[in-house]
Amino acid sequence: MSHCFWLPETSLLNGCFSPELNNLTELNVLDTELSLVSVMMHVMPKCQGLTKLSVNIVEPTWKAFHNKIQDLADTYTDNFKKITDLKLCVSSSSPFIWILLFNVLGWCRDCVQLQIELFKPKTVRRGSPCECHESKTAIQLAKENLYKGMEWMISLKGLCVLANQPDRCFDDFCRWLLHEINPPTLEKLWIPSVQLSSPPSTFVPEPPLRFLNLGRSDYQFDFASNVFTQVTHLAGIRVQSDLVLPQLRFLRGNFISSSVLDQFCRNHPQLEHLHFNDNYDCIASSQEKRIKFQCQWALAHLRTLIFANTPHSDILSKFMQSCSKLEELHIGQLTSNIFLAQEPVHDAYRSISKQTHLRKLTLSGLEFTSGSFLQQVLGSCQKLERLHVAGQFEESDAFLSDLLNYLPLTKNLRDLRIQKAIISESLLMDMIHSIGCCSTLERLMIYQEEFGIVSSPFQLILPDCIKNLVANRLTRLVAFCFIYPVYSETEVDISLALKDVSSSRPSFWFYVDHNDLPRARFPRVHLDEIVDPFQYIDSFPVFG
């Protein structure tokens, strides 16, 4: 039932937890009105065999959480002892959220797979005196009262923590876990946001290790040792020599030179996911200097390819020639605000048309002067379901005009995200007209980054134009995010028009604002995949 965010709690409880479900063993209610407290109060007492749980925690502090459960029978802690797979999602800007999490984790005993997703709204500047003081206090409380209750983690087989910002409390927890506990049977360690100033001296990966991501920590491992022979997912490394990992399926990192990249691809024909970091000099080197590949290789199994910057045209062309089953291609800066402008070589992007299995395409921060290559790409990639385009496009609107002309060539497009510094009134009307031809669209986002002046006559007609687009032309739409510098009155009129759509589409979610991305609680599935997808791409939730 994950992401059924529109259903009220009573409907979920009455309709989904009938007596026939008393034998339930696995429950995923992420992004629904059923929070952890609701599950503890209404589900766990009936479903005594529950061992796998994915759920949100909505309370901001341990005190608020504890006040809701203090009248429950003590048996709820016994129910938690049975959990073997646990996924918790929280949203908080306070370091004290970890006190709540550590208290909950202290109830576990048999958990072997643990995943935490923490979204921190950017309300407090990282490194401010307030944040530092609160972090130190929270760390001290955890050390004195809560870490001992989590010593069961010595039996952990998988730990994945995805956070959209670095966190001092989490860093300290990782130091404790890897130094004091050092789980010997750990198979998956995926903590991309962690930042450890020095590596734990006693942490030595054991042969069972298959997933390893230690974030920005400066570790130097001997990947030639037997410890890494079973590694399938590896992230946060800089490949400096001839690396050979026979089981490798996923790599996120960078390469010291194009020749090392060449050898790596030759040595890993089984690779399924390749994500380049944003500081790879050999990949984003000068377009004037040609790159020649000496090795013969093909990545027939590669499904996702991410360039976190503008790739050299020779490298992009080589990958398009060498990959036959690519499903996801993301090119450009992985940030929600595009500041740098980079002009790519158009011919290299025309080769994307060879990827007939492509389902997701992102072009971010690329200053195309023309979109003529899109006719071939959109015409050939008929399986394309998700298209995200973001850039300044200050010189002209030629690229976006070409995009809108060729957009009807897509027959299965479900997600469309267009982000630009300034979207003129005429261009916005062209967007509305062209997008209306994509009847398969399910999610749409139009985002103007910079503040601008919109004429009063245009604002008068805009609410009706958007309502017609959403209600009459895009009948499958379930999510619409529109950020454009309109007056507050126009913003209200658009929202009222879209509320009429909600009455006939219960799952329909929308957000309208003149300047800002959503800050309040909203469906995380839409945040991760279309509203602000860059952090999601960067993290790559490998545990599902």
Please provide the DSSP assignment of 188-211 as one string.
EEE-TT---SS--TT----TT--E
Number of domains in the chain: 2
Same domain assignment for residues 264 and 391: no
- Give domain status of residue 124, yes or no: no
Same domain assignment for residues 475 and 544: yes
Same domain assignment for residues 420 and 468: yes
What are 291's two structure tokens? 């790159």
- Give domain status of residue 425, yes or no: yes
> What number of CA atoms fall less than 13 Å from residue 539's CA on the CB side?
26
- Give domain status of residue 271, yes or no: yes
**Tokens 């509305």 -> residue:** 432
Contacts of 501 (CB under 8 A, 6+ apart): 467, 470, 471, 508, 510
CATH of the domain at 507: 3.80.10.10
> Which pTM value belongs to this model?
0.88
SS3 call for 390: strand
- Give domain status of residue 377, yes or no: yes
Among 68-77, 426-435, 449-458, 480-489, name the one with the lowest average pLDDT: 68-77
Residue 419's closest CA among 333, 488, 300, 350?
333
Contacts of 275 (CB under 8 A, 6+ apart): 235, 250, 251, 252, 253, 304, 305, 306, 308, 540
- pLDDT tens string 26-43: 999 888 888 999 999 888
Say if residues 169 and 138 touch (Cβ distance below 8 Å): yes
Say if residues 95 and 128 touch (Cβ distance below 8 Å): no
> What's the average model confidence in pLDDT over 81-105?
93
Q: Which ranges of 351-487 would DSSP assign to H, the alpha helix?
A: 373-380, 398-406, 425-435, 456-467
Same domain assignment for residues 310 and 263: no
Same domain assignment for residues 355 and 266: no
Same domain assignment for residues 280 and 407: no
Calpha distance 195→260 (Å, rounded): 27
Which of 224 and 217 is assigned the larger pLDDT?
224
pLDDT at 32: 86
Same domain assignment for residues 316 and 357: yes
Same domain assignment for residues 258 and 340: no
Instruction: Report the percent of the chain where pLDDT is more than 90.
Output: 51
Same domain assignment for residues 264 and 347: no
Q: Which domain holds residue 262?
A: 232-285
> What's the average model confidence in pLDDT over 108-132?
75
Tell whether the model's pLDDT for residue 407 goes beyond 50.
yes
According to DSSP, the β-strands at 158-163 and 113-119 are: parallel
Same domain assignment for residues 349 and 418: yes
Same domain assignment for residues 323 and 468: yes
